Structure 1
Amino acid sequence: MFKPTPNPPESDPTSPYESLDSKKLHDAADRALDHYLKPPKEPARKPSKMFIVAPGVDSESLLAHACESMKSASMMLSDFAALVGEPYCSTMLGIQQVVMNGELAVNRVLDNLDPQG
C-alpha cells in the first residue's frame, strides 16, 4: 500500500547573516544573553598595604593577638551598651556576643595548637 507523504517545507537558503540588520540583531541578542548569563568577573581583591602584619610572625602569636583584640572589643561593646538606651543596647549586646563567640573560637584554636599550655 502506497501512502503519499507531504513534501518537507522548503527552507530559506539565506543565512541569518546575509543582511546587515540580521547580523546586528544577532549580535545584540548575544550581548543581551552574555549580560545576563555571563556576568563580568569580580576583580581580584587587593588589600591595602598601609597596615600590614610582619610576614615572619608565627600563627600562635597572631592568634593570641587576635584573641586579646577581640576581648578588648567585647569589653568596649559591653561598656558602650551600658551607656546607650534601648533598642541600641540590645544591638550592642548582640554584637558583643558575636565578638565573644569569635574570641572563644580563637581560644580553642590556641588550645589545639598548644594543649599543655
Structure 2
Amino acid sequence: MVKPTPNPPLFTVNPHQNTEALLVNASETLSSLNALTCNLAFDLDTSQRAIMLGIQQMAELGQLLVDRALEQVSPSPMA
C-alpha cells in the first residue's frame, strides 16, 4: 500500500517534459515577473521602489541565464 505524501505540493512540473519546454516556460514566467515588478515599482515610495527594482533585476538576470541555456539547448537558425 502506497502511503500518501503528508504535504503534497500544490503545483508540480510534469516529470516527462523536455528541457526545451521547461526552459521556454521558465523564460516566459521570468518575463512576466520582470514586467510585474517593474510596473509595481513605480507605485511604491522611494525605499520600497529600490527593493522592488532589486527584485526586478534579479528576475532579469534569471531571464538572461534561462535564455542562454535555451539557446544552447535549441539554437536559433539566425545564430
**1:80 maps to amino acid:** L
Deviation string for 1:21-54 (max 9, x for gaps)? xxxxxxxxxxxxxxxxxxxxxxxxx984332111
Correspondence 1:114 to 2:74 = yes
Correspondence 1:69 to 2:29 = yes
The 2-side partners of 1:48 and 1:99 are apart by 27
The change in CA–CA distance for 1:47 and 1:96 in structure 2 (over 3 A counts) is farther
The 2-side partners of 1:110 and 1:48 are apart by 30
**2:49 maps to amino acid:** C
The 2-side partners of 1:67 and 1:88 are apart by 26
Higher relative contact order (CA 8 A, sep 6+): 2
The 2-side partners of 1:114 and 1:47 are apart by 36
**What's the TM-score, normalizing by structure 2?**
0.82
What is the percentage of aligned positions where both structures have the same residue? Answer: 31
Correspondence 1:59 to 2:6 = no
Partner of 1:94: 54
Equivalent residues, number: 72
**What value does the CA root-mean-square deviation take over the aligned residues?**
1.7
The change in CA–CA distance for 1:103 and 1:85 in structure 2 (over 3 A counts) is same
Is there any run of 5+ residues in structure 2 with no aligned partner, and where? 1-5
The change in CA–CA distance for 1:56 and 1:110 in structure 2 (over 3 A counts) is same
